């Protein structure tokens, strides 16, 4: 939690209740994570150049199209230079098609959807470049690569690639841009608008025994700084994070979200499967991309009742969040990894609804720290039961109710809305308080508030 003397400058941002950053006091309230819903299977990887180890998926929403990239065939092992990067696309994020691209041959035929072949395909991690200076020939960028055969495992290398259209790729330089790390997982990249720089989130081996995550920053995608390990609060347990799937949250770009695949290497649930290990997905957030909040230590996505998801490297979240329906975010997860019917499934979660402040039947309340906002309306992303309710009170910096904005001045709010406007007896305009330190007091009964935003309407 923040000190009750600290003033939060929130402007007109969407502030999700996924951590305690805004919360100063709470009573009878739980910070509750929202698990995703498993939806449709969007693609099965049954082509000869794909195989049951298809992996490291990335989804990119681009001008009415959802682009999907993934590792296909790995004929021998991780160091095979015939590994392939495959591409599929969809207009609705549910029905994906493999375009016949004719760029690379596989077993004598170029009738496939392969967009790259080589060591870079082991963990090819593309991005749409949202930087204001992105050149036309580099609208898409990627990192990929592992140690060549015969090279020590820890001497991996990442090459930078670029593309004008997301289909035709070439290396930006002949030499790798990052070296001397294993890089044997999904080393994802993104444009960070908060740093005005590129970020790479990669796996490393802490003390050579724990799979962990660290990050690097680059101004130009060629020169990368030394990696900075993630930090956590002191009471957070050490766990094996195989991948990280880190994103800047759409619509709340000041927040970083991560969906690490937690790996329990010693467990085995399905006797006939040849490999040991179990996986599930975690959820964590950050406000600077380096220190990560783990308010939720439980799994965000469990393996579920499908026994083929109770084997080693299933339940890996694809990198990227897309918005197909106005009210939902869509993510994607690998299922049945290293089974003959390996597949990718869509997940959905409420927009900006990864967690909430939750009040049960007996009710509870939350007071925020002092905050300074801009805008003339207070909007809540909330849901209640038919009998539930939410009341809102605005306080001065010292915690005293402001006349006209007391909880008793408003009819209880109930329903289920992404942008529910808070109204008091004298109206909904809060512009007179903009730019001044205020606190917000929420009273909840059988209700959830997922996010809040002050906004000009």
Handedness of CA 46, 48, 50, 53 (dihedral sign): positive
Q: 8-34+355-455 is classed in which CATH architecture?
A: Sandwich (2.60)
Note the pTM of the prediction, 2 decimals. Answer: 0.97
Q: Provide the residue ranges of all domains of the chain, joining segments of one domain with +.
A: 8-34+355-455, 37-350
Fold of the domain built from segment(s) 37-350: Neuraminidase (2.120.10)
Residue 26 pLDDT > 50, yes or no?
yes
Q: How far apart are CA 7 and CA 237, in angstroms?
A: 30
b/e map 315-335, b = 16+ CB within 10 Å: bbbbbbbbebeeebbbbbbbb
Q: What angle do CA 194, 197, 203 make, to 5 degrees?
A: 100
pLDDT digits (tens, 9 = 90+) for 140-192: 999 999 988 888 888 899 999 999 999 999 999 999 999 988 999 999 999 99
What separation in angstroms does the CA of 228 have from each of 117, 204, 207, 280, 388?
Answer: 30, 11, 15, 25, 45
Q: Where are the strands (E) in 300-376, listed by range?
A: 328-335, 343-350, 355-359, 364-368, 371-373
Is the separation of the CB atoms in 454 and 436 below 8 Å? no
- List of residues 6+ apart from 165 with CB closer than 8 A: 139, 140
pLDDT digits (tens, 9 = 90+) for 374-425: 999 999 999 999 999 999 999 999 999 999 999 999 999 999 999 999 999 9
Residue 78 pLDDT > 90, yes or no?
no
- List of residues 6+ apart from 317 with CB closer than 8 A: 243, 245, 259, 261, 281, 301, 331, 332, 333, 347
Burial class of residue 289 in the structure, from the number of CB atoms within 10 Å of its CB (0-12 exposed, 13-18 middle, 19+ buried) = buried
Is the separation of the CB atoms in 377 and 431 below 8 Å? no
Residue 1 pLDDT > 50, yes or no?
no
pLDDT digits (tens, 9 = 90+) for 306-360: 999 999 999 999 999 999 999 999 999 999 999 999 999 999 999 999 999 999 9
What separation in angstroms does the CA of 155 have from each of 146, 335, 439?
Answer: 8, 31, 52
Residue 5: pLDDT band (50, 70, 90) is low
Q: Which helix (H) or strand (E) holds 31?
A: strand 29-33
Q: Mean pLDDT across the chain, nearest whole number?
A: 96
Residues facing residue 332 across a β-bridge: 346
Q: What angle do CA 219, 207, 143 make, to 5 degrees?
A: 30
Residue 82: pLDDT band (50, 70, 90) is confident
Q: Which helix (H) or strand (E) holds 141?
A: strand 140-144
Q: How far apart are CA 92 and CA 429, in angstroms?
A: 38
């Amino acid at each position: 939690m923040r000190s009750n003397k600290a003033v939060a400058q929130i402007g007109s941002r969407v502030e999700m209740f996924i951590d305690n950053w805004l919360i100063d006091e709470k009573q009878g309230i739980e910070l509750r994570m929202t698990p995703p819903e498993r939806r449709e299977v969007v693609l099965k990887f049954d082509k000869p150049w794909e195989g049951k180890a298809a992996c490291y998926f990335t989804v990119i929403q681009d001008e009415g199209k959802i682009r999907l990239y993934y590792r296909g065939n790995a004929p021998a092992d991780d160091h095979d230079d015939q590994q392939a990067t495959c591409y599929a696309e969809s207009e609705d994020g549910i029905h994906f098609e493999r375009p016949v691209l004719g760029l690379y041959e596989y077993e004598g035929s170029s009738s496939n959807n392969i967009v790259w072949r080589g060591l870079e395909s082991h963990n090819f991690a593309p991005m749409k470049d949202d930087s204001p200076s992105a050149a036309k020939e580099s609208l898409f960028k990627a990192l990929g690569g592992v140690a060549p055969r015969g090279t020590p495992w820890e001497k991996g290398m990442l090459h930078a690639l670029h593309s004008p259209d997301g289909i035709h790729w070439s290396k930006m330089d002949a030499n790798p841009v990052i070296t001397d790390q294993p890089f044997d997982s999904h080393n994802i990249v993104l444009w960070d608008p908060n740093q005005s720089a590129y970020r790479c989130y990669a796996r490393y081996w802490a003390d050579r025994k724990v799979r962990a995550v660290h990050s690097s920053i680059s101004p130009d995608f060629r020169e990368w700084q030394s990696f900075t390990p993630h930090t956590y609060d002191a009471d957070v347990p050490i766990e094996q994070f195989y991948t990280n799937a880190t994103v800047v949250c759409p619509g709340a770009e000041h927040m970083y979200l991560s969906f690490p695949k937690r790996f329990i290497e010693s467990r085995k649930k399905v006797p006939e499967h040849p490999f040991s290990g179990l996986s599930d997905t975690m959820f964590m957030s950050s406000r600077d991309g380096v220190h990560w909040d783990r308010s939720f230590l439980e799994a965000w996505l469990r393996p579920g009742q499908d026994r083929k998801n109770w084997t080693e490297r299933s339940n890996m979240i694809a990198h990227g969040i897309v918005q197909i329906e106005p009210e939902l975010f869509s993510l994607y997860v690998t299922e049945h990894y290293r089974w003959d019917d390996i597949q990718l499934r869509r997940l959905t979660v409420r927009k900006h609804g990864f967690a909430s402040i939750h009040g049960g039947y007996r009710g509870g309340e939350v007071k925020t720290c002092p905050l300074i906002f801009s805008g003339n309306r207070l909007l809540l992303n909330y849901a209640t039961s038919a009998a539930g309710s939410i009341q809102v009170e605005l306080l001065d910096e010292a915690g005293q109710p402001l006349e006209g904005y007391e909880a008793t001045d408003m009819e209880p709010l109930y329903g289920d809305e992404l942008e529910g406007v808070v109204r008091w007896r004298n109206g909904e305009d809060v512009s007179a308080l903009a730019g001044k330190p205020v606190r917000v007091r929420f009273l909840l009964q059988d209700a959830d508030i997922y996010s809040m935003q002050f906004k000009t309407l």
